[in-house]
Structures are given as structure tokens and as C-alpha cells.
Structure 1
Amino acid sequence: MHYSMNIQKLAAMKNKQVTYQNIGKKGYKETWDYQDELFQAIIQTKMDNRRNETTTPTKNHFLFVEHPHVYTLGKSGDLSNLLLTEKQLTEKNATFYKSNRGGDITYHGPGQIVGYPIIDLDNFFTDIHKYLRFLEEAVILTLADYGLKSERSKGETGVWLDVGTPFARKICALGVRSSRWVTMHGFALNVNVDLGYFDNIIPCGIKGKAVTSMEAELGEKININEVQQTILKHLASLFEWELVSV
């Protein structure tokens, strides 16, 4: 009976609702701080539930943002993959941050869609591998809606075109953090981004691989808002999110 009651309590705690915000153009550090605030609040709820034997549902959030020029290095990344000095960063109107996400170095900037899910995987499934594959799948399905065939590359997180050929190129990077099954950070899809900024790094620490964008592949500027809505549709379907906009 006690076991049955615990199962019922766990089921009652699952919250499939995800609060969605498009926060527009915002600095990396400011957005990171906001993510962390949401992230810590979810963790605190989980800790309080465990301590007090309560069943307060945890919240889930999803943010879309567009960052000014910035290079970020994951916690296990190699600083030598940044090919600019501090002076050169300033000249390019770019900033640099060491992040607590996974992955190596990447670039964020105007014309790029950055998505940050801050969700409690206990509300959905507790499998980080599956979580990453779902993020990739949402991007793959979105690109297919625009006539682009993309796929995964074995051992290389993210979304790629022409995998296994000399023309392999990355169109979306992933880097996440998870603690107590709560996630933060996320993915960056190149839509109308200035690809020249990737020349200043070894993207994701992978030498000899090119980077591309939807604009470069399709030969025209793409409506970012439409791409965001398409990604959101696929994320909601894959994860079974109940989206609520702010």
C-alpha cells in the first residue's frame, strides 16, 4: 500500500506544462543569470519536496533568445580553440565567457536561434541521452520542413549536413547542463548568422569541419520567428509539452 501511494504521489507531481518566453536580443551573461535563477528555483522545489515529503509540482521553462557576438567555452573545453586575443575580441565587438555547460567552444550571435530548456526531466523522462537526441530531432524535423536534409554525426553532438562526406558541415550546436534531472543551456541553430565569426574558433573543438546556416544552404534570408515556431511545435510534440506563453 505504501509503495502504491508513492507511485500515485510521483504521478501527481509530474507537470507537463512548459512556460515559453521569447526574450528577444539579450546579452549572454544576463541570460545565463536568468536561466540560473529559474534552474535554482526548480532544484529548490525538488529539495523542499524531499525534505518535507510534499508534492509541489516543479516548473518547466523554455527560452528563445538572440545573443550579441559572444564566444562561450564549455566546462571541459580547450581554451586554445579560441583563436583570438583579448584585443581582437574587442575589435570584433565580441565577448567571451567560460560556461558551466557541456561541450567545447561555440559562437552565438545575431541571426542565430538559441533555445534554452530549463525543465525538470522528472516530469517527462530521466534520460539525458534521450533528452539530447530529442533536441537534435526537433532541429532535424524543422530543417526538413524547409527542405534541408540534416542528421546526427556519430560521436559529435549537434545537427549536421552531408555527414560522412568531405563536405560535412554543422548547422546546430548543443551544450547542456543537468543537475538533479533539471536542465539548462541548450542549442544554437544558425539561421541568418554571419558565418565569418566561426573562423575565429575551432567549433566544438572539431578540426577540419565546416559550419553552415539555413541562409547559406537555401540562398535567402529566413524568417527567424517562423523557424522558432516550427522548432517549438516539434519540441512540444516530441516531449509532450503543454506550452503556455508569457
Structure 2
Amino acid sequence: MIRAVRISKSFEDKLVIDDVSVTFQPGEINQIIGQSGSGKTVLLKSLVGLYEVDKGEIFYDDFSFTKLQRNEKQEVREKIGMLFQGSALFDSATVIENVMFPLEMFTKMSKEEMEERANFCLQRVDIENANHLFPSEISGGMQKRVAIARAIALNPRYLFCDEPNSGLDPRTATVIDNLIKEITQEYQMTTIINTHDMNSIMEIGDKIFFINEGKIWWEGNREEILHADNKELNDFVFSSALTRAVKGVL
């Protein structure tokens, strides 16, 4: 579980996250949604520790992440998996080298042990016979699968995903969504996804948090979102759905 308690974050004189309190449960797909500039990316980066909050506290389970010393925060970060927008694979490394990277950084495994773990993770995301290939030699969907394999290599308790469907066609995006959902439930991870993809929201969103002007404007599940009495949320849902429909036609 991850909790934010009355956190705020400013850049110079601009308040981006404004007194936000929110709880993300394990074993669920927790999605942060909102218009560009609403603060959702800053919230995600604050939760993972890439930004230090100005006020409030962030808890990982029962521990105040905000109050931990630098070396103590590193211990928590070793339990975090990250799936970046665009996959962020190393171009000069092969598929298996990409998955082994966090194992080399944070464990004392032998090379044989790292290869065994990396192969297990690649098999878990349904990638075989691609270990020797480079990212440029595989499709965008396969790159996302490799990035997921790398994210779960350390068997994390927490998984952060930044726009995981960015750049993918609808069919491949659905495959990636379902894979993230399966892994979240299988390992009972606390998964937080930053997204604007309405298909993803309606297919796998267990708990949805709509952020607007730096505040949590609405929260609920995917069954409730279409019937919410919230103008800003309704505008977001309509515009997102319309954009998706136009892309489908084009």
C-alpha cells in the first residue's frame, strides 16, 4: 500500500500539487488520470521519490518514505518497478541484458542466476527466442513487454507505469493492459498507472483518481466513472474518448 497525506509540490511560484491525500491499495490497478498540465505526472514522480514534496508525507506500507534517510530510501527503491513511457530500453544492450540490468545494479547474483531470473521474467511476459536481439530489432509491443520484464526482475512490491500504452495500436495496448493486470494480481503489487487512455481506464481500472488543477477532483471505479456528476471529469472522459475514436478512424 502507498499513501500520500496532504502533500503539496511547487516549482518556483507555481503550485502544482495542492494538499493531496490519496491511498493506493495492493493487488489493484490504481490509475491517475487528468488533462495535460493537471499535475498527474508530478504526482507520480513525487510518489516514487523523483521529486521531494514541499509539504505532507508519503508512506510505503507503514513507513514514512518522506522521513527516511537517503540510504533508507534506496532500500525502498529496490522494491519499486518502473515502466517508463516509450519503454526506455538501452539501445546498445540486448533484450536479456536490458532485463538483467537491475539485477546487476542491486543484487549479488552470479551471472548464471541473473540469466535464469531474466529468462523467467521474459517467459512471464511471453517473449522467447529474442534474448540476443536489440530493441531496434523488435516491435513496439515487444519492447513494452521487455520493459515489463525488466520492471519485475527484482520482484517488486510497487509498480509505477507512466503512460504504458503510449505509441501502441489499440490491440497491442489491450495486451499490455491485461499483462499489467495479471502481474499486479499475481504478485499482489501496489500498481499505479499514469494514463489518459479511456480504453485502459474502462478495461482494467480498479480505482481511478481524477486530478484537476493539482487536486484530487474525483475518485471511484470504472463502473462509476460514466455516471459521475462532475463536469471536469465528464469533459475529460468525452475529450479522451473522442480523441481515441478519431485516431481509430485515421
TM-score category (smaller protein): under 0.3
TM-score, normalised to structure 2, is 0.26
* Greater relative contact order structure (CA < 8 Å, 6+ sep): 2
Q: Which has the higher helix share?
A: 2
TM-score by length of 1: 0.26
